[in-house]
Chains A and B, each alone.
Chain A
Amino acid sequence: DQQVKQNSPSLSVQEGRISILNCDYTNSMFDYFLWYKKYPAEGPTFLISISSIKDKNEDGRFTVFLNKSAKHLSLHIVPSQPGDSAVYFCAASSGNTGKLIFGQGTTLQVKP
């Protein structure tokens, strides 16, 4: 029973265009959502987060959108750069222990 799902294993975009990574969840008790980026042979690094009381959060080229009625969030990267090529994980959390539940990840390839 996967509570956080990333249904697209991979995505390829041209440099300069928009990358849109999607994530669906099933648990309506989740109150925080996060995106992490992972390069090979490294640990994940935190990218951006959003509280469930908001529907959008922006940080530079990265914007996360949350649609609670659809239980769906997305990460937009504009403009995409070759250095953005990595695996992106969405994660969700509820409660006060800081525990995260991760999706399976989406591999983004940005072509020059």
Chain B
Amino acid sequence: NAGVTQTPKFRILKIGQSMTLQCAQDMNHNYMYWYRQDPGMGLKLIYYSVGAGITDKGEVPNGYNVSRSTTEDFPLRLELAAPSQTSVYFCASTPTAERLYGYTFGSGTRLTVV
């Protein structure tokens, strides 16, 4: 039972570089989400997807892009990294929009932009 797998676990980027944070789930969940957590703050929604081929913006989408070509994968792309994108990124999934049962989260990617 792999659940939600995020790679890499840690990454240091230089300002202006780009990278893709990978997220994969093996539970056949339709709904997937990307959140970021800044120190002392709650999680803020970046992007989400309700199924393959369907994505939409969350609270803080600027500087990020996503795609959802398969049910399993939901990569998050950072273009032109900025220090403000230093954060811990969490991917999550859930089978339906039924909110009583919560998400399954990955273990996170800690990103530092210098």
Q: Which residues of A contact B (CB under 8 A)?
A: 4, 6, 9, 32, 34, 36, 41-47, 49, 51, 89, 93, 96-105
The 7 closest A-B pairs by CB, nearest first: A46-B102, A43-B105, A102-B42, A32-B99, A98-B97, A102-B43, A93-B99
- Asked, given contacts A43-B108, A99-B33, A102-B43, whether A36 binds B102 with beta carbons under 8 Å apart, the answer is yes
Q: What are 21 A-B pairs at a CB distance below 8 A?
A: A9-B40, A32-B99, A41-B108, A43-B90, A43-B92, A44-B43, A44-B103, A44-B105, A45-B105, A46-B102, A47-B102, A49-B99, A49-B102, A89-B43, A93-B99, A97-B31, A97-B48, A98-B31, A98-B99, A99-B48, A105-B40
Inter-subunit contact B102/A34 (CB<8 Å): yes
Instruction: Tell me the count of chain B residues lying within 8 A, CB to CB, of chain A.
Output: 31
- Asked, given contacts A44-B90, A89-B43, whether A100 binds B103 with beta carbons under 8 Å apart, the answer is yes
Whose C-beta in chain A lies nearest to the C-beta of B96? A98
Inter-subunit contact A49/B42 (CB<8 Å): no
* Residues of A contacting B101 in the complex (Cβ-Cβ under 8 angstroms): 46, 49
State whether the Cβ of B66 lies closer than 8 Å to any Cβ in chain A: no
